[in-house]
Structure 1
Amino acid sequence: MSAADHGGSGAERFGTGSASSHHGELLQGVFRDAAGRRCAGLVTLPMAGLGSRARFTRRPGTPPERLTVRPADRAKAERAATLAVRECARRRGEPPCGGELRLAGGIPVGLGMGSSTSDVIAAVRAVADSYGTWLPPDTIATLAVRAELACDPLMLDARPVLFAQREGRVLEVLGPRLPPLVVVGCVLNNAEPVDTLALPACAQDDTDLRAYESLRTLLRRAVATRDVRLLGEVATASAVRGQERLCHPEFTALTDIAPRVGAVGVQIAHSGAVAGILLDPAAPGLRHRIDSCVRALRSNGIPVTRTFATTPATTKETQRGPAHRGGDRPAGPRAPRRSAHLPAL
């Protein structure tokens, strides 16, 4: 029996949903879509182990505006739940109603790991579950963009895609999966959240478009040929361009450390402070290179967070740090952080 079957007619119905997070981007910029139109796009770096969980209790017969969310500051998730209620009620031929949305999870806010999108998708899935229905990824993406203006492709499967975040659509499926990577994660700028709305506007001209399209071609080739080094070059080039807006003071140290430890490159969150040094797991001396990377980051005052792999085969070997404990993450961009969260995001 599904969660939506609990309770009789007119009784409260509940549903649950969840969504994953990511570790920033491998590529972000401006690209052409299939019609030749210019649009913003990104390719995220997936990361297992963190995400949002939602439980939605709908109350048939109550006004749809009587919808509450806990924690109360999750305005984007609240908007998403309201939109999802309307969509699911329409599909079921029922009037929309109110309810209560509860969110939990461990994604740090403001670091560029998709915390708001994860909340939004978990909320939409919980609402759909309460109605006993399933919403396809493109519908979830549309609702997510309406709720937060731009979203990450966390509603899709693990295939690497170039995603138009402001439109909620896939520009290109780059291949079946990323080449195997080991990522030594860290945070820049003292882990300060990034207010993306306060960043200066970045005008993208035809020169920028050609550069990003070239990186797109290289990333497509890297995925097709499983070329870890080429993928690292693309991610580094995109990160360098991203620093034109973010201006993290430790970024130069990050790019200096990477070649010294035999890394293939670096990646960053283009809308946050999380970053990573990318290693080829097939190259000799992986454990030594990870340890050298961690020491070099710490010696430069850069907090190390988590080492993880993009493929299940190497995750257990390379993941470091204590297991993350569940619970609500700090609410709001300026909420105090518990230091225990940084060693293992």
Structure 2
Amino acid sequence: MQYYGICPASCGELIQGQIESGEYLSSYCVSLYSKAIITEQTSSNTRLTTYPKSIMAMKKTFEFFNEEKALKNLSLEMVSNIPRSKGMASSTADIGAVIGASCAYLGIDISPDDASKIAAKIEPTDSIYYKSLVAMNPLNGNLIKNIGNIRGLKTLILEPRAKIKTKDVRNKLGYSEFKKSNILKYNEILGDFESAIKSNNLKELGKAVNKSSLLNEHLLPKPYLKEVMDIAMSLGAYGVNIAHSGSVVGILLDINDSSANYKSELINNNLAKYFGRMYCLPVIDGGINYGRMS
């Protein structure tokens, strides 16, 4: 018998910062996926993926539900088309897919809240397990607030060759001090972001996103961010978001807007040399899908 879990990627975060209760972020999902497959075997030979975090996700899911299931007689395979170490939640998606497949194997449903808490025990996590946009604490997986849905968006993803590890950003000298010293600004960004979502105002959403991108430049500078932002806004984009602990940049566009003009301007300004890949994906609902394979 086989069981699957599927989880989407993100293109960085729309906003990320810190409030009085701790850190927050709000990720959005795009149509790239990680898939986990758990297979029950008749032999005692256990075949597991080479990704240690995926194995840990399976173990911690069993522990969370107090299931004494051993990994014996199980195989775990991972399939993903999400770029690695770019800030697209590849690791969080892997973990989410494994959590989903593990729950399908156990015959148990899991909430986004509980999945996020399991993931946060492994590493700082993203908010991609929720169907809608939320603000959550990436360090403990606690939900701060459910914000709402956005419709009619796609993103032009600018993916450079540079790879960045989240832990390297968090270990940077002055990281925590900067966030704590800017709590008022981060509070304002979160408030503006929430108001924009509640009123379905994509232009105001873009303004909040831009503020977050620029403020967090102090923590992880993005080459050519100002140039990208100038081009994007001049052509009518809603905003430009970043991976706050990764290298990708996303230009937020109306679903009916053509990305061709944006690509042309980026190429004309020699930015394609740094951003090796430029491709457009729809913004989709988040969440982990899981079940038994036929």
Is TM-score (shorter-chain normalized) higher than 0.5? yes
Cα shift at 1:271: 1.4
1:86–1:96 CA contact under 8 A, matched in 2: no
Distance 1:151 1:205 in 2: 18
How far residue 242 of structure 1 moved from its aligned partner, in angstroms, is: 2.0
Letter in 2 for 1:86: E
Residue of structure 1 aligned with 2:59, choices 82, 86, 91: 82
Judging changes above 3 Å, is the alpha-carbon distance between structure 1 residues 112 and 132 closer, same or farther for their aligned structure 2 residues?
Answer: same
Equivalence for 1:55: 37
3-state SS, counterpart of residue 186 of structure 1 = strand
1:274 to 248, 260, 271: 248
> What is the CA distance between 1:97 and its match in structure 2?
4.1
Deviation string 1:72-113 (CA, Å, 9 cap, x unpaired) is 1x111111111123344x35xx55343321101100101111
Report the CA distance between 1:44 and its aligned residue.
0.8
Q: Give the partner amino acid of 2:23.
A: A
Which residue number in structure 1 is paired with residue 28 of structure 2? 45
Give the gaps of 5 or more residues in structure 2.
Answer: 286-294
Residues 272-311 of structure 1: pairs in structure 2 closer than 5 A: 272-281=246-255, 286-287=257-258, 290-299=259-268, 300-301=271-272, 302-310=275-283
Q: Within 5 Å, which residues of 2 pair with 1:91-106?
A: 91=67, 94-98=68-72, 99-106=74-81
Letter in 2 for 1:30: Q
Partners of 2:33 and 2:18 in 1: CA distance: 28
CA distance in 2, matches of 1:170, 1:276: 24
In structure 1, C-alpha distance between the alignment counterparts of 2:6 and 2:145, rounded to whole Å: 25
How far 1:260 sits from its partner (Å)? Answer: 2.3
Whole-angstrom distance in 2 between the partners of 1:84 and 1:121? 10
1:311 deviates by 6.3
Query: Are the structure 2 counterparts of residues 267 and 193 from structure 1 closer, same or farther at C-alpha, using a change threshold of 3 Å?
Result: same
Instruction: Quote how far apart the aligned CAs of 1:305 are.
Output: 2.5
Partner of 1:30: 18
Relative distance call for 1:121 and 1:182 in structure 2 (3 A) is closer
Q: Percent identity?
A: 22
Deviation, structure 1 residue 291 = 1.9
TM-score in terms of structure 2 length? 0.85
Larger of the two Rg values belongs to structure:
1
Q: What does 1:1-345 align with in structure 2 at a 5 Å threshold? A: 6=1, 14-32=2-20, 38-48=21-31, 50-58=32-40, 68-70=47-49, 72=50, 74-88=51-65, 90-91=66-67, 94-98=68-72, 99-148=74-123, 150-157=124-131, 159-175=132-148, 177-187=149-159, 190-199=160-169, 200-201=172-173, 202=175, 203-204=177-178, 207-281=181-255, 286-287=257-258, 290-299=259-268, 300-301=271-272, 302-310=275-283
Instruction: Report how far residue 275 of structure 1 moved.
Output: 0.8
Whole-Å Cα distance in 2 between the matches of residues 60 and 76 of structure 1?
Answer: 25
Checking the alignment, whether the CA contact within 8 Å between 2:116 and 2:141 is kept in structure 1 is yes
For residues 309 and 123 of structure 1, do their structure 2 counterparts lie closer, same or farther at Cα, with a shift above 3 Å needed? closer
User: RMSD of the alignment, in Å?
Assistant: 2.4
- Distance in 2 (alpha carbons) for counterparts of 1:249 and 1:224: 32
* Alignment: residue pair count: 276
Which residue identity lines up with residue 70 of structure 2 in the other structure?
P
Q: Which amino acid aligns with 1:53?
A: K
- Provide the rounded CA distance (Å) in 2 between the counterparts of 1:25 and 1:205: 16
Equivalent residue, structure 2, for 1:315? none
In structure 2, distance between residues paired with 1:281 and 1:61: 50
| Contact kept in structure 2, 1:266 and 1:277, CA below 8 Å | yes
Once the two structures are TM-superposed, the CA of residue 181 in structure 1 deviates from its matched residue by 2.4
Change (3 A) 1:263 1:80: same
Contact 1:68 1:78 in 2 (8 A): no
Deviations 1:295-327 (CA, angstroms, capped at 9, x unpaired) = 112232233432233369xxxxxxxxxxxxxxx
Alpha-carbon shift at residue 235 of structure 1 (Å): 0.7
Question: Any stretches of 5+ residues in structure 1 without a counterpart?
Answer: 1-5, 7-13, 33-37, 313-345
The structure 1 segments of at least 4 consecutive aligned residues displaced by more than 4 Å after TM superposition are: 58-62
